[in-house]
Each structure stands twice: as C-alpha cells, then as structure tokens.
Structure 1
Amino acid sequence: MPSVLAVCVVRALHPDSGRAGVTAIDKGPVDGPVKVGDYGLYADVQVDRKHHGGLDKAIYVYAQEDIDFWESELGREIPFGFFGENLRTEGIDVNAARVGEQWRIGHDVIGEVTSPRIPCQTFARWMGDDSDGWVKRFAQERRPGPYLRVVKRGPVAAGDAISVLRVPDDAPTICSLAR
C-alpha cells in the first residue's frame, strides 16, 4: 500500500544569492499530524510562490524510490525534506502520475496532481552546485516529483496511506511533462 514516509515543513530560512535573497528549501520531518490548507502544509513556507507554491503548487511530493536512485548516484544519504519535498512517499510511482489524478492522503486530504517540479538554481545551490550541472542532471533523469493542489483539506502524518481516487486517461504524466 502506498504511504507517506515523512511530512516535512521548513526548518529555517537560509540566505541565498537568488532574486529573493533567502530560500525555504531546508525542510525537515515533523512528528504527528500537520494540517493541510489550500496553500499547503501549516508551518511551511515558500519564499517564491510564483515558482514554488501557490494554489497549484501547494504540496511537493517526492518518492523514496527516486531518493534511493539519487543516493546511489551521489554516494550520500538524502534525509527527509532535503530536496524541499513536503511529503516523502513510498510505493507509488509519483512520476507516472497524470495531471488531474487525485490522491487521498490519510483519511481526509485529497490532492490533485498539477505539474512536475522544474529544477532551479536555488535547488542547484542547495546541492552545492552553482553551475547549470545539477539542474540539467536532475531534469535529464526525469524524476521530478509532482506538485499537488489541495482539493480537500485535513491532517496528514507519516504512516498515512495514499490511495489513487481518479486517473484521467488522456492527461500527460509528470514524467512526460518533465521532458
């Protein structure tokens, strides 16, 4: 059964040489349930909501299976939240999800897949690579993870089950959009 391994929110804002001057990419796991509202998880922050938040990018999801790939590639452990994800999942191919697909997360929350993550220079700097190298590498692997918009609010917690409620047959997948 697909499930949530960790629910992550911002731990601290960090100075960043990007346009905003700070970044909220530093996310970490929390204990217990977290309320989910229209703009995402309570106690979370997105500095640049045009690119990393807002109603259509309220929750960023990344799969442990893709983290396992990156840990092997990079030769290091990637802790929960390190890629800026709000939910770390297992047992669901998040990159095969179709735009418009709806997931029930826990008992109440319903999220709808909207778009893939587009890697940015903030992410590259966070990974220790100020060049375009990390952005290109991450994009080429086609493991971007999806953003969700919130259809129904409620709490989420580590251990919550994820069930797919609806899959539009004719919609593109996250992976195909990431090309």
Structure 2
Amino acid sequence: MSTPHLASVNVGTPKQIGVRKGRPVMSAIDKRAVPGRHTVEGVNVAGDEQADLRVHGGADKAVYAYADEDTAWWSAELERELWPGVFGENLTTRGVDCTNAVIGERWRIGSAVFEVCQPRQPCFKLGLHLEDPKMLKRFAQASRPGAYLRILEPGTIEAGDAIEITDVPDHGVTIRLVADAVLLDHDLAADAARAPQLPEGLRGWLLERAG
C-alpha cells in the first residue's frame, strides 16, 4: 500500500435521493470532494450535514472514512466509475486498510486526532443513491464497511495530509469482525464484543447476541 495519507475530504448536505412508499427520501450520502483545509470538531467536518440524526451523526459517528482501494474494488465489481465520497465517506484514505483497522486505534491527520470506533451499517439509502436495489445486501456481504471515527482532538485537515496511526489496542478486534458479527454471523458476537472502545449500545447488542 502507498504511504498512508488523506486522498480527499468530502462533505454533503441533505437532498432528495429517491421516493419510498410515496414519500421523498432525504439523505446527505452524496458527498463530494472539497479543496482546502477543513475544521473537524465536535461531531462533524465543517460543511457536512446529516439528514436523519436519529441514526447518523453524533460522537460515535462523527466522521466516516473509506479507503480509496475499496472504492476501486467496487468500481471493478459494479463495472462503473465511482468517485471519492460515493459511499458517503468524509475521508477518502489511501494506504490505510480501513476494513482491518482495530477498534480504538488512533489516527493523527493534520492537526486532528481520531479514534476508530465502529463499522458502517448500510441502510436502504445506499441502494437508492447508487440506483441498485441489491446494493444493501452486496455491501454487507463484501465485508468492506469503512470505519466511523470519533474526534478526540479537533483540528484542521486537508487532502494530502499524512495519516499517522499512533496507537493500536492489543485486543485485535477489527472493523471487519464487528461488521461481520452484526450483519453476517452472530456467532462472532462474543469475539467482537471484546473491544471496550465500541459504542456502548453496539457493544451491549453484541453481548446480548453472545448470550
């Protein structure tokens, strides 16, 4: 993989992406790359918004990262050209394996510090956005979920900034393991729940499934 760095910073605002059950569906999943330095603080990248704050946003879903390498894989899989931000990610990374990032590992990008906290769990809006009704199932089965990050230290970031992984917990629970435990195989739940840095609600759900 190339030297870890930020390929692009992507933001979006809510807009209608389709109709479901006769009602317009609003989403900010369509993110686009923006130039220059951008502030990250609190629960967001400056200029970015979410349409449904019940299930998006917040401290444990403050920033979404997806690897450029995974986007390239999808482009080949879907036989179509894809762009940075196509999966709704704020940070398109290059040289970082977001799928196998360890829950709780920390990234320094620019002057900001982030913590990997959970995988993305897709909803029907991904299929509407990509005009593919099978995309929800395909995304889950591909085990390339991308990583939600907490903002531990606010700062500014820009495309080209190095991504320095400064701390990796020794429990070994990865983004992929948690995603697979939730979406594909509940028998993995006990193993996935070993990461104390998971959001409380998600870790509790995994522990319940583990029995």
Q: In structure 1, what is the Cα distance between the partners aligned to 2:51 and 2:62?
A: 13
Describe how 1:51-90 pairs up with structure 2 within 5 A. 51-90=55-94
SS of corresponding position for 2:10: strand
Separation (CA, whole Å) in 2 of partners of 1:58 and 1:28: 17
> Which amino acid in the other structure matches residue 130 of structure 2?
M
Which of 113, 121, 126 aligns to 2:129? It is 126
TM-score by length of 2: 0.79
Within 1, Cα distance between the matches of 2:171 and 2:17? 42
> Are 1:117 and 2:135 an aligned pair?
no
Q: Give the 3-state SS of the residue equivalent to 1:147 in structure 2.
A: strand
- Taking a change above 3 Å as real, the CA distance of residues 20 and 98 of structure 1, as seen in their structure-2 partners, is farther
- Distance in 2, matches of 1:23 and 1:11, equals 8
- Distance in 1, matches of 2:82 and 2:73, equals 10
State how far apart, in whole Å, the 2-side matches of 1:118 and 1:169 are. 24
Q: How many residues align?
A: 176
Larger Rg: 2
Gaps of 5+ in 1: none
Q: Secondary structure at the match of 2:19?
A: coil
Q: Percent of pairs identical after alignment?
A: 43
Q: Is the Cα contact below 8 Å between 2:104 and 2:168 reproduced in 1?
A: yes
Aligned residue number for residue 140 of structure 2: 139
**Unaligned regions of 5+ residues in structure 2, if any?**
181-211
Higher helix proportion (structure 1 or 2): 2
1:161 Cα deviation from its structure 2 partner: 0.4
The alignment status of 1:148 with 2:152, answered yes or no, reads: no
1:11–1:28 Cα contact (<8 Å) kept: no
Q: Distance in 1 between matches of 2:107 and 2:145?
A: 18
Q: Which moved more, 1:51-60 or 1:145-154?
A: 51-60
Partner of 2:9: 7
1:76 Cα shift? 1.1
Q: Deviations over 1:28-59 (max 9, x none)?
A: 01110010011110110011223221111000
Q: In structure 1, the residue corresponding to 2:54 is in which secondary structure?
A: helix
**C-alpha deviation, 1:15, in angstroms:** 4.7
One-letter amino acid of the structure 2 residue matched with residue 176 of structure 1: L
TM-score by length of 1: 0.93
1:94 to 87, 92, 98: 98
1:129-166 Cα deviation digits (max 9, x unpaired): 24xx2111111110000000100001111000001011
Distance 1:170 1:9 in 2: 33
**Partner SS state of residue 5, structure 1:** strand
More relative contact order, 1 or 2 (CA 8 Å, 6+ apart): 1
